[in-house]
A and B are shown apart, each in its own frame.
Chain A
Amino acid sequence: MSATMDNNRAAAAGGKRYLWLWGAVVALLPVIGGTLAWLTGWDAMWFFAPVFLYVIVPAADYIVGEDSSNPDESAVQALEQDRFYRWCTYAFIPVQYAVVVWGAWLVGGGTLSWVALIGLTWSMGILSGVAINTAHELGHKKPTIEKWLARIALAPVAYGHFYVEHNKGHHRRVATPEDPASARMGETLYQFMPRTVLGSLASAWEIEKTRLARQGKSVWHPENENLQSWSMTVLLFGALTAAFGWAVLPFLLIQAAIGASLLETVNYIEHYGLLRHKTAEGRYERCQPRHSWNNNHIVTNVLLYHLQRHSDHHAHPTRRYQALRHFEEAPQLPTGYAGMIVLAAIPPLWFRVMDPKVVAHHEGDLRQAHLHPAKADSLLDRYTASAAAT
């Protein structure tokens, strides 16, 4: 019985093996849209990527469903060391760069209609958002090659400071009031957005300033990893502008903003309302699976290198994506990120779906949850009253 189960689990982990290549195919979304527009002569086809993200993937998640199987512990070491999985993430980056150059070339050519231009910019923004996910997987790893690839993937998104802030800021402070990238119950996406964008930027700057100061160096020293990463963006955008003309610059800046906002929307979802408590010694408790929302929907997990196995990722941040596990004690999102970002964009709907889940996760005791200070009293009133009424 248990041997069969182990085999099933190992098979399940290996079963996604070739599906991980889809991650790099996502980088082709803008090209797919352009090709469809060219074949049909219909400019609306340039909007293929947004339709894919906001409609097709949520529907596919619904139809294909969930997979909560975990790799067998005895197989994890081999799974982690299998280089195939690494190459899947590396493969994303040349595709990403080819598509960025192709997009800039098209925009510079000046032959696109406004509809096509808007569709292409939006699609490129989605690609950039997904590129942050690839950078995220790579940026957690020890090998120098992966660290550099992470920063290269962040250059077209102009979000190089994410590499510093995510590891040394977000992972340390996740699900605490000190983390700009952990959303509070009652906080709308639109309140969260400036807080996370500006807070993460300030934190990344501070982290490098402190690190360099300990070595007796100025924050402007060339070893500042934020400055290094941003310079890559300046070089890339400068080169593309020089090659294809000034029209390319607003295109690059707008798609980068769309990419960053996609990432920050996912941040909003990942820890909404969840809180680590302080121990008697005044230190925050260790991050547990219960401090991040998990989701097992197959389609989004395959497209995002298991990013939605987020509870395990934060509790065990150096595990490679192919080995991330489902935990029963972790709170579960109702659908994959693609559907959740649509929900997050509509705050009344978001609150209606998610707030009861936050309440249930804390077994009705909202004092244990991460509450938006401005809404704390009204949330406590409402959910305490409804608990008393039932």
Chain B
Amino acid sequence: MKKWQCIVCGFEYDEAAGMPDEGIEPGTKWDDVPDDWTCPDCGAPKADFEMMEVD
């Protein structure tokens, strides 16, 4: 399970947690997140997220 971070605002998508509010189930891999999904905080596109180092 990895985390991906928005390069604009720092929002983190955690594959383990998913985003159930947005219909993205816990455990959804980043590759399986829809391509038209955007950062819920600032609107940056999925392509502008970077993989984070896992703590």
Contact = CB atoms under 8 A, between A and B. Distances in A.
Interface of A: 140, 142, 167-168, 171-172, 174, 207, 211, 214, 279, 281, 283-284, 286-287, 314-318
A329 B39 CA distance: 21
B45 A316 contact: yes
Nearest to A281: B21
A258 B42 CA distance: 29
24 contacts: A142-B48, A167-B10, A168-B10, A171-B8, A171-B9, A171-B42, A171-B43, A172-B9, A172-B10, A172-B41, A211-B10, A279-B21, A281-B21, A283-B21, A286-B38, A286-B40, A287-B42, A314-B43, A315-B43, A316-B44, A317-B9, A317-B44, A318-B7, A318-B8
Given A286-B38, A315-B43, A316-B43, A142 B7 contact: yes
Given A286-B38, A286-B40, A318 B45 contact: yes
Contacts of A284: 41
Nearest to B53: A215
A351 to B, nearest CB: 30
B11 interface: yes
Contacts of A281: 21
Contacts of A314: 42-43
Contact of B8 (A140, A279, A283): A140
B29 to A, nearest CB: 22
A200 B7 CA distance: 20
Contacts of B45: 316, 318
Contacts of A167: 8-10
Contacts of A286: 38, 40, 43
Give the interface size class of chain B.
10 to 19
Nearest to B41: A172
Given A172-B10, A284-B41, 14 more contacts: A142-B7, A167-B10, A168-B8, A172-B11, A172-B42, A207-B10, A279-B21, A281-B21, A314-B42, A316-B43, A317-B43, A317-B44, A318-B7, A318-B45
A161 B10 CA distance: 16
A6 B41 CA distance: 33
Given A142-B48, A172-B42, A287-B43, A317 B21 contact: no
B40 A318 contact: no
Contacts of A316: 43-45
A287 B42 CA distance: 6
B42 to A, nearest CB: 4
B20 to A, nearest CB: 9
A15 to B, nearest CB: 27
A257 to B, nearest CB: 28
Contacts of A140: 8
Contacts of B42: 171-172, 174, 287, 314, 317
